[in-house]
């Protein structure tokens, strides 16, 4: 294999709303470039990109895949990403390591939520971008309408670089508006620009030329002077315009019919920049340094994905930004401050890996069985321990409790979950101490369902997912006194412990305190710790619904003892029982966690979102407009928003986002308390 470096590689990420055709297009490109000799179909579940059983079954991409092929002496690393919102972490990783993006729009469906989101992500990542209007062969496909919509949504910088010849059943080929050439037929050979298209071609070409001129000062003057711009000037002007984000060329095609694909490949190669034209930012001794990608510089490679493969074990995906990494070498993991041994390196084509001896600056590849390296780490050299800014992943907002199904699953669940979480940085796992549950958090329900399937398939662990228990607590509302005398006479040695407690409510959030005010030795000093122990034990399970009791002070102020029969255990029992009686007398209530919710939605959804928060017992505290969106601040009981990631998605068709933080505990309304107490009692009766 030839050596590919910063000027002979293209790293292109494919993004879109789910179903616009990324996987089909990747497959078509691999076929045309002869990287594969059999064209797979999404609908038959045999594409190179989507090979996980979870993907073929759902017919959606869940993982990003890197697909390598060669075209015109250039190595193309295509990064196919999932369109489904739950897997946005993979999209973010793909965007981080690409030098350019191709945004697909389905000609039959138009601009969808995922199209808008993808657009935002591309802009956020500062990537040069081309748009492909795919599925031109489908019913309802209308290129000009989509072009108008794109301009309305994303601005006039979206200009046609191609026009389709015909549409729907009559879709026959493509006109290249810069070269003014037409291509069509089975072999995409050059044909005549149809006479009927001439006026559209003129209008659209004018749009293109104007956008190129406007994004380029040198050309603008000439253009405004009315001088003709040469083909050369237009092509290089377009390259610059794309690189700066000032021009976003719009293309047409059909991935399924494989038409326009060779032209698409030429266009991608021509207008999306190679690695050497993109600045590389590294962090050296705390400072950001920007320099062009260089093969001569010391190694700097970013790990952007880790998978646990049942056959090869752990597989680490990385992009080389500077230097060269070689098979069977040693590198320095800057983040872990550790040497990492590199075995065989691979170039990637979905699940197929092709061994390579080295990967040079600008390239993407993988290596198996690294020891300490995780997603986000930088591989460098010990002499030049630089770091690269990691992928910024979205925070997980949807949680479920995971419990093992059978006895054999109990021990295996923890370690297997740890490996899954390692694979997907948008998954997090923790044990909720208060409820004892293992909580798995992610972006959405599909992602968690897929995680559960993977646990089964990869590690043979069966689990059930359920809504996490809400960590309710119990407390008292008035002061109360209580007394318990533990006294037993059973043959020889008796038992005796006698405790008087005073309970007072404390402010919310202070927890439980124990104090002691015994005078005159009515309880000897050495038994006080036993009383405290009893009180603390009794605090762990309230009488209302079994939740921990908090926010009170229990003061032992009197009691009595027996010189022979008293013991620590007797005072512990007396302390515990006195506390239970005291709490019962203190008009106990259930309190619930309240969270701060900050919801960002396009203006038109504001009313619906606030209405929904009202039905969830929420209090809207404020609303701030922010760049065409509204940010709604509210406080809501945690119990009501455990499914908010799903609720908000359906309320806003996926356009809303939110963040949540714990605020405080508050008494539950009486009807809610009654319901929870009744449930607790039913569960106790059933046990």
Catalog residues that contact ligand GDP under the rule CB under 6 A.
16, 18-24, 42-43, 60-61, 83, 134-135, 137-138, 254-256
Q: How far is the CB of 253 from ligand GDP (least distance, A)?
A: 7
Question: CA separation (Å) from 320 to 154, 329, 335?
Answer: 32, 15, 16
Q: Closest CB to ligand GDP among 62 and 461?
A: 62
Report d(CA 578, CA 84) in Å as an integer.
Answer: 56
Q: How far is the CB of 347 from ligand GDP (least distance, A)?
A: 22
**Dihedral Cα 51, 57, 62, 67, nearest 10 deg:** 20
Q: How far is the CB of 250 from ligand GDP (least distance, A)?
A: 16
Give the residue ranges of DSSP H helices in 385-468.
Answer: 407-423, 445-459
Q: Closest CB to ligand GDP among 162 and 387?
A: 162
Q: Closest CB to ligand GDP among 52 and 502?
A: 52
Q: How far is the CB of 77 from ligand GDP (least distance, A)?
A: 17
Q: Report phi then psi at 659, rounded to 5.
A: -135, 155
Q: How far is the CB of 93 from ligand GDP (least distance, A)?
A: 17
Q: Closest CB to ligand GDP among 33 and 378?
A: 33
Q: Closest CB to ligand GDP among 169 and 678?
A: 169
Q: How far is the CB of 608 from ligand GDP (least distance, A)?
A: 28
Half-sphere exposure of 190 (CA within 13 A, CB side): 4
CA torsion sign, 21 to 27 to 30 to 32? negative
Q: Closest CB to ligand GDP among 16 and 629?
A: 16
Q: How far is the CB of 341 from ligand GDP (least distance, A)?
A: 36
Contacts of 283-286 with C-beta under 8 Å, sequence gap 24+, read 283/386, 283/387, 283/388, 283/389, 284/384, 284/386
- Name the E strands within 268-410: 279-284, 287-292, 300-309, 313-322, 324-326, 329-333, 338-342, 345-349, 352-356, 358-360, 364-368, 378-380, 398-404
Please give the distance of CA 617 from its chain centroid, rounded to a whole number. 28
Q: Closest CB to ligand GDP among 252 and 538?
A: 252
Q: How far is the CB of 120 from ligand GDP (least distance, A)?
A: 18
Report d(CA 578, CA 534) in Å as an integer.
Answer: 9
Q: How far is the CB of 260 from ligand GDP (least distance, A)?
A: 9
Per DSSP bridges, beta strands 552-560 and 589-602 are unpaired
Q: Closest CB to ligand GDP among 208 and 264?
A: 264
Neighbours of 262 (CB within 10 A): 19
Please give the distance of CA 340 from its chain centroid, rounded to a whole number. 28
Half-sphere exposure of 471 (CA within 13 A, CB side): 18
Q: Closest CB to ligand GDP among 83 and 588?
A: 83
């Amino acid at each position: 294999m030839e050596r590919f470096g910063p000027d002979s590689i293209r790293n292109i990420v494919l993004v879109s709303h789910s179903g616009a055709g990324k996987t089909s297009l990747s497959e078509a490109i691999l076929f045309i470039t002869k990287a594969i000799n059999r064209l797979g179909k999404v609908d038959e579940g045999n594409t190179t990109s989507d090979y996980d059983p979870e993907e073929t079954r759902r017919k959606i991409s869940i993982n990003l895949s890197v697909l390598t092929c060669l075209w015109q002496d250039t190595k193309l690393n295509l990064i196919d990403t999932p369109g489904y919102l739950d897997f946005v972490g993979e999209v973010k990783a793909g965007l981080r390591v690409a030098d350019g993006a191709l945004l697909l729009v389905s000609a039959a469906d138009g601009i969808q939520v995922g199209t808008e989101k993808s657009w935002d992500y591309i802009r956020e990542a500062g990537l040069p971008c081309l748009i492909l209007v795919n599925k031109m062969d489908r019913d309802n496909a209308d290129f000009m309408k989509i072009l108008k919509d794109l301009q309305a949504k994303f601005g006039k910088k979206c200009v046609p670089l191609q026009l389709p010849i015909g549409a729907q059943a009559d879709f026959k080929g493509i006109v290249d508006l810069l070269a003014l050439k037409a291509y069509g037929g089975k072999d995409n050979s050059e044909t005549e620009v149809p006479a009927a298209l001439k006026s559209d071609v003129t209008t659209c070409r004018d749009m293109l030329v104007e956008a190129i001129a406007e994004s380029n000062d040198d050309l603008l003057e000439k253009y405004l002077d009315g001088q003709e711009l040469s083909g050369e000037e237009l092509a290089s002007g377009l390259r610059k315009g794309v690189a700066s984000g000032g021009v976003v060329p719009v293309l047409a095609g059909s991935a399924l019919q494989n038409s326009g694909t060779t032209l698409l490949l030429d266009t991608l190669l021509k207008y999306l920049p190679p690695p050497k034209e993109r600045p590389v930012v590294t962090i050296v001794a705390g400072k950001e340094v920007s320099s062009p990608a260089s093969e001569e510089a010391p190694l700097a490679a970013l790990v952007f994905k880790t998978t646990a493969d049942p056959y090869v074990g752990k597989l680490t995906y990385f992009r080389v930004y500077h230097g060269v990494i070689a098979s069977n070498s040693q590198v320095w993991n800057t983040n872990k401050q550790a040497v990492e041994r590199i075995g065989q390196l691979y170039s990637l084509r979905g699940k197929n890996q092709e061994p390579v001896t080295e990967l040079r600056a600008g390239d993407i590849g993988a290596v198996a069985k690294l020891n300490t390296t995780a997603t986000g780490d930088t591989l460098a050299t010990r002499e030049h321990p630089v770091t690269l800014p990691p992928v910024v992943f979205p925070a997980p907002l949807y949680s479920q409790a995971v419990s093992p199904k059978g006895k054999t699953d109990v021990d295996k669940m923890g370690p297997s979950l740890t490996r899954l979480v390692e694979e997907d940085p948008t998954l997090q796992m923790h044990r909720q101490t208060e409820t004892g549950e293992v909580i798995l958090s992610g972006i959405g329900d599909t992602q968690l369902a897929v995680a559960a399937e993977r646990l089964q398939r990869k590690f043979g662990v069966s689990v059930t997912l359920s809504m996490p228990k809400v960590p309710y607590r119990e407390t008292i509302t008035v002061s109360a006194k209580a007394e318990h005398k533990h006294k037993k006479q059973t043959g020889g040695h008796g038992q005796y412990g006698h405790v008087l407690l005073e309970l007072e409510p404390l402010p919310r959030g202070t927890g439980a305190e124990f104090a002691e005010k015994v005078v005159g030795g009515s309880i000897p000093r050495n038994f006080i710790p036993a009383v405290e122990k009893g009180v603390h034990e009794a605090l762990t399970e309230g009488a209302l619904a079994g939740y921990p009791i908090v926010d009170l002070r229990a003061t032992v102020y009197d009691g009595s003892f027996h010189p022979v029969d008293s013991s620590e255990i007797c005072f512990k029992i007396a302390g515990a029982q006195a506390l239970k009686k005291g709490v019962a007398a203190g008009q106990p209530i259930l309190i619930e966690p309240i969270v701060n919710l900050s919801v960002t939605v396009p203006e038109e959804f504001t009313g619906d979102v606030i209405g929904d928060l009202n039905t969830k017992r929420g209090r809207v505290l404020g609303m701030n407009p922010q760049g065409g969106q509204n940010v709604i601040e509210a406080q809501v009981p945690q119990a009501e928003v455990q499914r908010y990631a799903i609720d908000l998605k359906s309320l806003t068709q996926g356009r809303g986002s939110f963040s949540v933080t714990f605020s405080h505990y508050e008494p539950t309304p009486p009807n809610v308390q009654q319901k929870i107490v009744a449930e607790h009692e039913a569960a106790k009766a059933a046990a």
